[in-house]
Copies of this chain bind each other. A is one copy, B any other.
Amino acid sequence: MRKVTYGAACSLDGFIAGPNHEVDWLHMSKDAHAIMLDYWGRIDTLLMGRKTWEVAQAMAGGASGGDSSMMAGIDSYVFSRTLGALPPGQGHLVKENAGDFVRDLKGRPGKEICVFGGGELARSLFEAGVIDEVGLNVHPVLLGAGIPFFRDAGRIKLKLSECRQIAGGCVYMMYRVLRPRHRNLDLGHALNAAVG
């Protein structure tokens, strides 16, 4: 199964952008770049919600302004029930249930999968139990309000796999998502019932 990672740069109080989508507090550093470059080499699929896609479009200055070399070999999927179509070369539009789609994607051959941007798509995917890792670059700032990196998807237990200070007083933290035991037990019971 391909690994799905939800990653974000966030404030100490868990926002990926301020109340007016401000990201001027983001600290770009060689350390952060090296982590991204290493990660980028392990993935071949990028998942994002409609809002993140629109922000990315605006930041890249439209289709012609994007860094196409960085996206070479990367398949991107935009999840939206409202968008009609994406411009040519801008990725695949997914209108079906996000959890089902990603569960299917994980079973296909390929490299790792990255969930990119805001918390709404991530919430659906957490609820569907298809996210395997959470990676954060925690910045030394409190925003107090804004777009949270995680929205109410019930309680999710994690296991810390890495934690280190990087440039700019940022802290890089990587966690593995622990699946609730009862899911396996339920599956076990179902299998027992099926073969019993």
Residues of A that sit less than 8 Å from B by CB: 12-14, 18, 25, 126, 134, 136, 138, 140-145, 148-160, 163, 165, 169-171, 173, 175
CA distance A152 to B150 in the complex (A): 17
CB distance from A16 to the nearest CB of B (A): 11
Closest partner residue, chain B, to A162 (CB atom): B165
**Among the listed B144, B163, B169, B171, which residue makes an inter-chain contact with A150, where contact means beta carbons less than 8 Å apart?**
B144
Can you list 8 A-B pairs, Cβ within 8 angstroms, ordered by A?
Answer: A12-B136, A13-B148, A18-B155, A138-B173, A141-B156, A141-B157, A142-B150, A171-B171
- A153–B159 touching, CB < 8 Å: no
Closest partner residue, chain B, to A170 (CB atom): B160
With A148-B13, A152-B144 in contact, do A171 and B175 touch (Cβ < 8 Å)?
no
- A160–B169 touching, CB < 8 Å: yes
CA distance A151 to B146 in the complex (A): 11
CB distance from A120 to the nearest CB of B (A): 13
CB distance from A141 to the nearest CB of B (A): 6
CB distance from A5 to the nearest CB of B (A): 14
